[in-house]
Chains A and B, each alone.
Chain A
Amino acid sequence: EAQVTQNPRYLITVTGKKLTVTCSQNMNHEYMSWYRQDPGLGLRQIYYSMNVEVTDKGDVPEGYKVSRKEKRNFPLILESPSPNQTSLYFCASSSSGRPYNEQFFGPGTRLTVL
C-alpha cells in the first residue's frame, strides 16, 4: 500500500531533550516536506527536500533540522525542543521532483514539549 509513515505518532518530552521524528514513504517520491499545524495558524512548511541531499527552508525552519540521505526517508530533528514547538507535525511527499502533483500526507505526530 502506497503510504507515508511517521513515528512516533504521539510524543511528550521535556525542554532541551533532543528528539527525532521519522518519516518514510514507499512511493519513490522525490519531493518530501515537513509541516507543523497550530490552531488558528494553519499548516506551515518547516523544511522541504527536492531530492537526496537537497534540502531547503520553508517558512518556519528555526529550531529544526532535517536530512535526506536516502530517497525514502526524511527525518525531522529537534536538537533542543522548546514548548513553542508543541504542535501537530505532518510529513508529506509527492512525485516528479516538484510538488506539482498531489502531496500524500502522513498520519501526523502530535508533539508536546513540557
Chain B
Amino acid sequence: EDKVVQSPLSLVVHEGDTVTLNCSYEVTNFRSLLWYKQEKKAPTFLFMLTSSGIEKKSGRLSSILDKKELFSILNITATQTGDSAVYLCARLMNRDDKIIFGKGTRLHILP
C-alpha cells in the first residue's frame, strides 16, 4: 500500500529546543517528497525533495531525503512559538500524479 507515515503524531517542546520530525514511505519508484506547514488554515509549502542526501534549508528549517531507507526528516532549530502547527509530508509517485499525505505531526511550542 502507498502509505506515508509520520512520527511522532504529536510533540510538545519548549521554545529554543530543536525538533526532528520524521516521514517514511513504503514504496520505491518515487518522484519527490513534499513538506507543508498547516496552522489554522490551508497548508503552506515548505520543501520539495527529489534527490537523496541533499539538504534543503530555509532559515531555521531544513529537510533531507534518504531514498534508500525511504524516509525524510524535517528539522527545526531554535524553535519559536510561531512554529506551532501541524507539519505534513506527502509523496509523489513516478507512475501517476497522485499525492498521498501522511497524517501529520502536531507540534506545540511552549513559551
Give Cα distance in the complex from A58 to B102, angstroms: 15
Docked-complex contact A99 and B92, CB < 8 angstroms? yes
Shortest distance between the CB of A78 and any CB in chain B (Å)? 20
The answer on a CB contact under 8 Å between B101 and A99 is: no
CB nearest to B32 among chain A residues: A100
Q: Which residue of B lies closest to A58 (CB)?
A: B98
Are B97 and A99 neighbours in the complex by a CB distance under 8 Å?
Answer: yes
Q: Which residues does chain B contribute within 8 Å of A75, judged by CB atoms?
A: none
Q: Is the CB of B48 within 8 A of A101?
A: yes
> Is the beta-carbon distance between B42 and A56 smaller than 8 angstroms?
no
- With A102-B48, A107-B42, A108-B41 as contacts: A40 and B103 at CB distance below 8 Å: yes
- B: number of interface residues (CB 8 Å): 21
Q: Tell me whether A103 and B32 are in contact (CB under 8 A).
A: no
By secondary structure, the B interface counts as: strand
- Given contact pairs A98-B97, A100-B32, A42 touches B48 in the complex (Cβ within 8 A): no
Chain A window 27-59, contacts with chain B (Cβ cutoff 8 Å), 1 for yes, 0 for no:
000010101000011111100101000001011
A105 contacts the other chain (CB 8 A): yes
A106 on interface, CB distance cutoff 8 Å: yes
Evaluate whether A44 and B48 lie within 8 angstroms (CB atoms) in the complex, with A99-B92, A105-B42, A106-B42 already known: no
Q: A33–B43 Cα gap in the complex (Å)? A: 14
Cβ contacts under 8 Å, B41 to chain A:
107-108
Most chain B CB inside 10 Å of its own CB: which residue of A31, A41, A99, A106: A99
Q: Can you list 9 contacts pairing A with B, beta carbon distance less than 8 Å?
A: A40-B103, A43-B88, A43-B90, A43-B101, A45-B99, A45-B100, A59-B98, A108-B41, A108-B42
Interface positions of A (Cβ within 8 A of B): 31, 33, 35, 40-45, 48, 50, 56, 58-59, 90, 98-108
